[in-house]
Amino acid sequence: MALPLKQIGTFLPSEISFLAENTSVSIVPRQALDVLELIGLNLPAMRPMRRVEVPLWVAIILKKQSRCNIIAPTWLSEDSLKAAYEAEASNMTRFSNKLPWEWIEVGELVLTSAPDDLACPPHIIRNLLRDIREIRQAKVRAGLKSLDPTYMQIDNVGAMELNEIRQFVTMTMNELRVLQNGRAEEEAEEEVEQYPGEDSDLEDTLETTEYSIPRDSSNFDDSLRSRSRSAAPLGERRPTSRAPAYEDDEGDEEEDLEMDESYLHTVKDNSSGQR
């Protein structure tokens, strides 16, 4: 609808790259250009062979027309990339801080738009970048094993790397949290018979709801409140997303299992709804 499914809760790689185009780089213009007032900045006056700092997207436009040379950022040189690789390899549990936030995107953009401006052959840089990326990906994968529903810390991660794992991490952690809350409540509370919707049909459900629960939300006691919070992802989906077929074959399953099922169901439902 307003937002394509692919863009909900995450960014497209192209959007991350778009963001990275706002980082500033040094260029050596080959042509004079007066100060140019833009919306997000004023471009400095350019004189041939005088270094100026401009956003990367300006540099790429000028470079395409061969009106400037891009000076690659210092971290994008053979030596510092090798150092960065060493740093990555020396500690397999943390990311090194030798690379900037947008390192994948900026590296890629500079390599494709200005391969001739690099101090050493572009394939060397490309290989180094790939090596670093692989070693960091291995760390990410290792980190994903220890996901838990409280929090996670990932320092010095890159924008693109973060975006790659964003949906997986947030969805997993959200689901883990729901499961954990469900379990905690099962232990703490016994009023299970008040919990409708296991297999009763819609009308029954709504009626029991009416009898047992006061309408006015200010009257809920705390136990109900906490229950409703944890049950929310389940409850809010059920009225709309439950298909008749699902109700039939789902008898007295375990609650955990059912959460998985209804979750899968919503995923399916969402994707078909979006089309």
Site residues (CB under 8 A) for other proteins?
1-3, 7-11, 15, 18-19, 21-22, 31, 33, 36, 38-43, 57-58, 61, 65, 67, 150-157, 159, 162, 166, 169-170, 173-174, 177, 180, 194-197, 203, 205-207, 209-210, 213, 215, 217, 220, 224-225, 227-229, 231-233, 235-236, 238-239
Specify the residue, 122 or 235, whose C-beta has the smaller distance to other proteins.
Answer: 235
Q: How far apart are CA 241 and CA 262, in angstroms?
A: 8
List, in sequence order, the alpha helices (H) in 189-201. Answer: none
Q: How far is the CB of 119 from other proteins (least distance, A)?
A: 27
Q: How far is the CB of 14 from other proteins (least distance, A)?
A: 11
Q: Is 195 helix (H, G, I), strand (E, B) or coil?
A: coil
The size of the chain, in residues, is 275
Q: How far is the CB of 51 from other proteins (least distance, A)?
A: 18
Q: How far apart are CA 174 and CA 233, in angstroms?
A: 10
Specify the residue, 125 or 158, whose C-beta has the smaller distance to other proteins.
Answer: 158
List, in sequence order, the alpha helices (H) in 242-254. Answer: 244-248
Specify the residue, 24 or 77, whose C-beta has the smaller distance to other proteins.
Answer: 24
Q: How far is the CB of 36 from other proteins (least distance, A)?
A: 6
Specify the residue, 62 or 76, whose C-beta has the smaller distance to other proteins.
Answer: 62
Q: How far is the CB of 235 from other proteins (least distance, A)?
A: 5
103 φ, ψ (degrees, to nearest 5)? -65, -40
Q: How far is the CB of 71 from other proteins (least distance, A)?
A: 19
Q: Is 67 helix (H, G, I), strand (E, B) or coil?
A: coil
Q: Which residues contact 56 (CB under 8 A, 6 or more apart)?
A: 20, 21, 22, 23, 24, 25, 106, 109, 110
Q: Are 162 and 10 in contact (CB under 8 A)?
A: no
Q: How far is the CB of 223 from other proteins (least distance, A)?
A: 10
Q: How far apart are CA 110 and CA 59, in angstroms?
A: 10
Specify the residue, 22 or 127, whose C-beta has the smaller distance to other proteins.
Answer: 22
Q: Are 77 and 71 in contact (CB under 8 A)?
A: no
Specify the residue, 73 or 197, whose C-beta has the smaller distance to other proteins.
Answer: 197
Q: How far apart are CA 95 and CA 84, in angstroms?
A: 10
Specify the residue, 133 or 177, whose C-beta has the smaller distance to other proteins.
Answer: 177
